[in-house]
Structure 1
Amino acid sequence: MGELRNALRAYAAQNHPPHILLQQLDHLLCLHQPGWTATVCIVLVEPGNAGRRVADAGHLTPLLLSPRRTPCFLSEHGPLLGLGLPQPSAVSQCVGPGSQLLMITDGLIETRNSDILDRLRLLGAIASNSQDDPDGLCTTLVDTFGKV
């Protein structure tokens, strides 16, 4: 992941659209680590925080938290990196004032003894009912899911 992270930084400095970044990472992974796969979700925040472009290669999708709407997981999803498959174009998401996008690593919620959908529902419930600032929400999530 460290190599992919550094490669992503280099590719992003060339101002490519998100799905091209994912395609380049996929090519790199196929070339140097055949048979390996990885997941990545890229969110580019537009100037003025007016919207976001989301490209997801097999990663858990972000949770959109809006002040007056039910939280929802974004539905954008492409194939894992390392499969050599084309990545769909990034999808633009309009967000209202006060909205937040919660992105997590799968290691936070996945366990061998629980259903991933149950864990995602719990994540959504905790995030939507939280009155905490982002740091406080992160602490609550780690405290909740960090217990096995």
Structure 2
Amino acid sequence: MLNDFRKFLSRGNVLDMAVGIIIGIAFGSVVSSLVNNIIMPPIGLLIGKVNFSDLFINLSNKHYSTLAAAKAAGAPTINYGVFVNTVINFLIIAFAVFLMITVIYKAQKKYQKSAAPAPVTTKKCPYCKTDIPIDAVRCPNCTSDLSNIEKKS
């Protein structure tokens, strides 16, 4: 069982997946920083100097001016501002992945179109219609002499 597990881990697609997950986590933290520190402050300023990460609904009877104060007091809250930031993070990550996949597919299509066709290595015997090597002068299947046919064409 340990041998099978080792074989599974050493397969290429498992390693590729692990690298993808690590890069995805790093990409997610970069996007979170982009949303929280670059995108949301100007949006909050345009809406009326609102900090989205401080938007919450207090479920207790006491008043708290900030989400941090409510959390410090242990008050139950619905943190819809944090949820808005998370939704924007998701949309940016999804759009970035969409762009990346689109570029990869276009590159693959371009590469597939520009790839040279494989060289011809076989031909059909005019008598028995089987595939034979292109340099053959006698068909190995029907033993027909092909040297005269090639000289005529």
Same fold (TM over 0.5): no
Bigger Rg, structure 1 or 2: 2
What's the TM-score bracket when you normalise by the shorter of the two chains? under 0.3
Question: TM-score, structure 1 length as denominator?
Answer: 0.21
Select the structure that is richer in helix: 2
* Higher relative contact order, chain-length normalized (CA < 8 Å, sep 6+): 1
